[in-house]
A and B are shown apart, each in its own frame.
Chain A
Amino acid sequence: MNTVSQVRITREETILDGKCIFTGSITELYREFAGDYPKFFKMDSLCRLGFMAAELLLKNIPAPIRENAAIALFNRNGSLITDRNYQKTVSDDNYFPSPALFVYTLANIVTGEIAIRNKIYGESSFYILDEYDAALIEDIAASVFITSSPSLLLTGWVDYNDETDYLADMKLVTDNKTKIR
């Protein structure tokens, strides 16, 4: 696979293609580099993190190429932070389940949010591994090209544990044949 672009977002900094471009929270990052998508504020933390990583990676990719891109993301904690929040809304003395929150108790919603924003009609998959197994992640990402021919693959790690501990380490890759830039 050829890497077109890569991004790393942590609490400390945002690094795009090896260069630190921002320091601040995910919301501040949104205000600086996106700002035009109010739906961002409806998303849970995992989605906001993955969404911003995708914004930075896809901003210069033309729409017709984006349409046939694939998304394959990985993490360890799934949607656990939102699961815990939702659980608090269905206790006996405090019962008010909300569909707006429940939908984010699915880890793959982040792939859907990215697809909607970028009009990506290709594959969207979410995988959960209990360890960051770099070789297995690389194998699964590369194997997307075995049964399909996406223009690009948006792949990598996106994990949100709490507001001090989160990581998006995502990249845009092509198979060895396609040239994007």
Chain B
Amino acid sequence: MIACIADNIISPMGLTTEENFSSVSKGMSMLRNHEDTFGLPEAFCASMLDRELISGLFADHALSDNEYTFFEKLCILSATDAISSCALQAECEDVIFVISTTKGNVDMLETEPDCPGCRLAFSAEKIARYFGNTNTSVVTSNACVSGVCAQIAAIRLLLGGKYRYAVIIGCDVLSRFIISGFQSFKALSPEPCRPFDKERKGLNLGEAAGTMILENIGGTNVYGNGSLWEFAACSNHNDANHISGPSRTGEGAFRVLKDILEKIDRDDIAFVNLHGTATPYNDEMESIALHRSGLEDLPANGFKGYFGHTLGAAGIIETILSMKAVETGVIPATKGYGTKGTTYGISASSATRETDRNTFIKILSGFGGSNAGIAYRRRNVPPCATFRKGGEA
């Protein structure tokens, strides 16, 4: 069994998972209009981190500040919180680092186009070395679905038996490079985004880092005090349709949901956490995929109205927030949503809803025709003197 044993989220809404979930519960958002940022000719609306705050926090932790970029500092700070909360010895041979990012230090291309830091995996190795880990680190770079792909890659490596723990870090930071690209696609909304809504005008970008630590805890005879998060199902399918537009039939997302539904109990699903970028095409595609899967009536939600689209971090932070939602029994509202705006129903809500179910599904779709999804189940574990003592059943 693979369990999630620790997590962290750093975003403009907080420096821990608890702070971020609390901000979501209060309906907060840090999506703001930015003029003249990165010297871009056009203003944009985004959720951006305070660089000085992050550098200050890092200076309190780090050995040498200058060696690390803003992206690497964020990854390290996020992982530090998760690693310390479960007392993981990250330097051990049975720990692997998996980093989910689309563009890493791409802003360095402006000044140092040939520097090694521009390579995503060079940066990933630096992050793992910070924690004393010397295994080759894996970067999953699958556009917007990277965060779920990172979890799938980690879970498989743990099931393969060579590693016991995976530290999965998802992060992207904004730059002139990234904003100009999304602007050229005309994908950005000039105001805070409205997932699934009739009036949606596009997405907002956001900055965040998230960390999940997964452990292969062996067989299913698990004891403890309370509950744990168990990996339940995963899937990845391509639309085989277009490199920059979602499938009109929601083919890849439908196949992902179909695979997952074969492996989990439909009656235990609390909600489906959708990609919900608030672009006209993405949200429409998701409504088609939900309809084809018979999931229209199941509660669905999206987090982009709080954080924007955090790219490589999205799959990680949205999975963690979904776990918190199930733990508290409250499905967060979809901020920005008001009126149905898709052909088929998406059971989104502008208000919170209660749930007593224990499983959720997280799905993502992105450029390259990628679609990926993952499901986790909260499992009650009977008390025993030795916590997390596994062993084959």
A121 to B149 Cα, complex, angstroms: 16
Q: Is the CB of B236 within 8 A of A123?
A: yes
A140 to B183 Cα, complex, angstroms: 35
| Chain B stretch 26-73: residues in CB contact (< 8 A) with chain A | 39, 41
Residue in B118, B176, B180, B242 whose Cβ sees the most chain A Cβ within 10 Å: B180
Residues of A within 8 Å of B251, CB to CB, are: 121
**A157 close to chain B: CB less than 8 A:** no
**B389 close to chain A: CB less than 8 A:** no
Asked if A99 meets B240 with Cβ closer than 8 Å, knowing A78-B120, A108-B141, the reply is: no
The one of A84, A116, A121 in contact with B113, judged by C-beta atoms closer than 8 angstroms, is A84
**A86 close to chain B: CB less than 8 A:** yes
Asked if A112 meets B369 with Cβ closer than 8 Å, knowing A103-B244, A143-B156, A143-B160, the reply is: yes
Residues of A within 8 Å of B157, CB to CB, are: 139-140, 143
Q: Mark B131-165, 1 if CB is under 8 A from A, else 0.
A: 00000111111110000010011011101101000
A-B contact count (CB 8 A): 175
- Interface-side segment among A25-33, A89-97, A163-171: A89-97
Q: Is the CB of A130 within 8 A of B121?
A: yes
Q: Mark B242-255, 1 if CB is under 8 A from A, else 0.
A: 11100000011001
Question: Size range of the interface on B?
Answer: 35 or more
Q: Is the CB of A83 within 8 A of B106?
A: yes
Q: Is the CB of B368 within 8 A of A109?
A: yes
Residues of A within 8 Å of B259, CB to CB, are: 148
Q: Mark A108-142, 1 if CB is under 8 A from B, else 0.
A: 11011101101111111111111101001001101
Asked if A129 meets B139 with Cβ closer than 8 Å, knowing A84-B113, A139-B160, A147-B156, the reply is: yes
Question: Size range of the interface on A?
Answer: 35 or more
Q: Is the CB of A140 within 8 A of B156?
A: yes
Q: Is the CB of A129 within 8 A of B368?
A: no
Asked if A115 meets B142 with Cβ closer than 8 Å, knowing A76-B121, A90-B176, the reply is: no
Q: Is the CB of B153 within 8 A of A140?
A: yes
The one of B121, B155, B156, B244 in contact with A128, judged by C-beta atoms closer than 8 angstroms, is B121
Asked if A106 meets B143 with Cβ closer than 8 Å, knowing A99-B244, A112-B238, the reply is: yes
Asked if A127 meets B140 with Cβ closer than 8 Å, knowing A109-B243, A140-B153, the reply is: yes
Asked if A121 meets B136 with Cβ closer than 8 Å, knowing A87-B109, A130-B121, A146-B156, the reply is: no
A120 to B241 Cα, complex, angstroms: 9
Q: Is the CB of A125 within 8 A of B236?
A: yes
B309 to chain A, nearest CB (A): 14
Where the two chains meet, the residues of B that have a C-beta atom closer than 8 Å to any C-beta of A are 39, 41, 102-103, 106, 109-110, 113, 118-122, 124-125, 136-143, 149, 152-153, 155-157, 159-160, 162, 176-177, 180-181, 183-185, 234-244, 251-252, 255, 259, 367-370
Q: With contacts A122-B237, A130-B119, A140-B153 known, what are 8 further pairs, Cβ within 8 A?
A: A78-B141, A83-B177, A84-B113, A103-B244, A112-B367, A127-B140, A136-B138, A140-B157
Closest 9 CB pairs of A and B: A112-B368, A143-B156, A130-B121, A102-B181, A97-B184, A115-B238, A128-B139, A123-B236, A124-B238
